[in-house]
Amino acid sequence: MSLNLGLKRWLGSVLALVAGLALCTDVAWAQGQGQGKKTQAGKPLQPGYDPVFSGRQSLPGGKIVAGPARGGAAGAKKVGAGAAAPVAGQGRIGGQGGVILPPGGGVVAGLPDDDLYPVPPQETVDKANKAQHSVRKEILAKPGVIGIGTCLEEDGTVVIKVMLNGIDKPQLPKQVDGVKVITEVIGEWRPMQTIPTPPPAGPARQRRLPRPVPIGVSAFPFDPDICASGTLGCRLRGRNGFYYALSNNHVFGLENEAIPGVTEITQPSAGDDNCPLAILNENVLGRVAGYVTLTFDEEDPNLVDAAAIFTEPTLTGVSTLPDGYGVPRSTTVDAYLGQRVQKYGRTTGYRVGVVTGIDMAVGPVGYDAGDAYFIETMEVTGTPSDMPLGQPGDSGSLVVDMNRNPVGLLFAGGGFPIVRTLCNDIDNVMALMRIQLRDPTLVIDNSTPTIPPGKVGNSSPLVPVSPLLPVVP
């Protein structure tokens, strides 16, 4: 949230821009946040740790989290320890060649730039991923390297892509086990929250909306010292009638600084509501329920940047605004190279793209609280290329395939101009949030929006309460 990037980062960005222009390469930037304690798989939590205040994720041995209990045992669950991210070819739910469904109440979806980024054969992806893992540790240790992944070029070639800061010039192989190695100048990775546009200049998704609010709109914790905006990704449904809203830790969790049960989230974000002058009581959607703690240790990378708040159907709905994809499904799907996806977020609204990177290790990601590192990350390239999937302020957006099955949670992006977007695997997000919220039944909610009699939620005297979505300007 700080605007002071520092001389080194500023110099890196300038040099990266020059290098990108000279080499005619694409460039990308992204962000992330967090700070917290670490645990090892199978070891007890440290003495004095209060699980009500944060969850945890750590490696090696898998990600372990613990958090506020809602009843039931607090089991620890390993997720993707040391394994490659899921990859797939043909035949996945919502994959290329599947039935393309129009989003309920939203725009008609289609396959963007279908002649570009074709889905490669699975054996080709497996070979490239194996080669990538064989050199990952060695390449990540080189000066100037800030990421590596199994990626897809426009013509369908599967490559190992190494992302650079644009300052150092590491010596890299041209191929690994017959798999081509390419480079891309990123500059630096940074999180995707934003400096807001003063109201009422922004579109409907950046303004106060009638309750229950749509998903994909402006939301952020109320803090007099912070003027920023993020995105409410989707509503979650748990057991015993509990409902939650999902976003990033660096949005709802304030980079591990939010206090569950205390920190309040408003819609719109205070950053879209005159910051210190924002009206708190009339705009609250709920309080922080929990988050997966972000770590700032290269040896203990993060799987996700995720947090949730308590809410209810009278305050938070399940559909985007009418110009979005509509209601997401509860069934998640794996990301794979060439997969067509869509999202709706606070800044850019509805955008489409193609998954062009899987099983990526990226970092450092420059959060205010420190530099974070991520694994099992997916990259999405916007289509057309001059319309990236996300921009600052879209952090927390749910990314779904063209059948509206959830694929990822947007948390970062980058480029000069921005052309790449980074997302956490949605299955990792849901697995870790189930542990954090102590609720194994937690799912993305796509139930029919209803307003029980007498329940109208919080409203402003200036804005009528209505179950109908507002007309988008």
CA distances 381 to 107, 114, 347, 386, Å, are 20, 13, 17, 10
Least confident of 100-104, 171-175, 271-275, 399-403: 100-104
What six digits make up the tokens of 276?
Answer: 């210190």
pLDDT surpassing 50 at residue 460 = no
- Which pLDDT does position 398 carry in this prediction? 98
Q: First vs last Cα of the chain: how many Å apart?
A: 29
Tens of pLDDT, residues 113-151: 567 999 999 999 999 999 999 999 999 999 999 999 999
Average pLDDT over residues 36-56: 28
Closest-CA residue to 270 (of 308, 223, 215): 223
pLDDT category at 15 given cuts 50, 70, 90 is very low
- Which pLDDT does position 194 carry in this prediction? 59
Provide the β-strand partners of residue 443.
237
pLDDT surpassing 90 at residue 62 = no
Tens of pLDDT, residues 244-293: 999 999 999 999 999 999 999 999 998 888 787 766 778 899 999 999 99
- Which pLDDT does position 112 carry in this prediction? 55
pLDDT category at 188 given cuts 50, 70, 90 is confident
Distance CA 193, CA 228 (A): 7
Domain 193-333+395-414+424-446 CATH class label: mainly beta
Count, in order, helices (H) and strands (E) of the chain: 4, 18
Distance CA 83, CA 86 (A): 9
Distance CA 452, CA 432 (A): 31
pLDDT category at 1 given cuts 50, 70, 90 is very low
pLDDT surpassing 50 at residue 83 = no
Q: Taking the CA atoms of the chain, what radius of gyration do you get in angstroms?
A: 21
- Which pLDDT does position 341 carry in this prediction? 97
- Which pLDDT does position 368 carry in this prediction? 92
Tens of pLDDT, residues 297-320: 999 999 999 999 999 999 999 999
Closest-CA residue to 65 (of 302, 409, 408): 302
Distance CA 21, CA 2 (A): 28
pLDDT surpassing 60 at residue 45 = no
- 229 secondary structure, DSSP code: B
pLDDT category at 224 given cuts 50, 70, 90 is confident
Residue-range domain boundaries for the chain: 122-187, 193-333+395-414+424-446
Distance CA 176, CA 160 (A): 8
Q: Please, what sign has the CA dihedral across residues 15, 17, 23, 26?
A: positive
| pLDDT mean across residues, the chain | 75
Distance CA 397, CA 425 (A): 13
In terms of pLDDT, which residue wins out, 281 or 103? 281
Alpha helices in 306-364 (DSSP H): none
Average pLDDT over residues 344-348: 95
pLDDT surpassing 80 at residue 89 = no
Closest-CA residue to 356 (of 26, 135, 12): 26
Domain 122-187 has CATH 3.30.300.50: yes
Distance CA 442, CA 436 (A): 11
pLDDT category at 46 given cuts 50, 70, 90 is very low
Distance CA 351, CA 402 (A): 11
Average pLDDT over residues 391-420: 89
Judge if 122-187 and 193-333+395-414+424-446 fold alike in CATH terms: no
CA atoms within 13 A on the CB side of 70: 22
In terms of pLDDT, which residue wins out, 14 or 261? 261
Distance CA 409, CA 472 (A): 24
CA distances 142 to 23, 170, 172, 366, 457, Å, are 21, 6, 9, 19, 54
pLDDT surpassing 80 at residue 74 = no
- Which pLDDT does position 128 carry in this prediction? 98
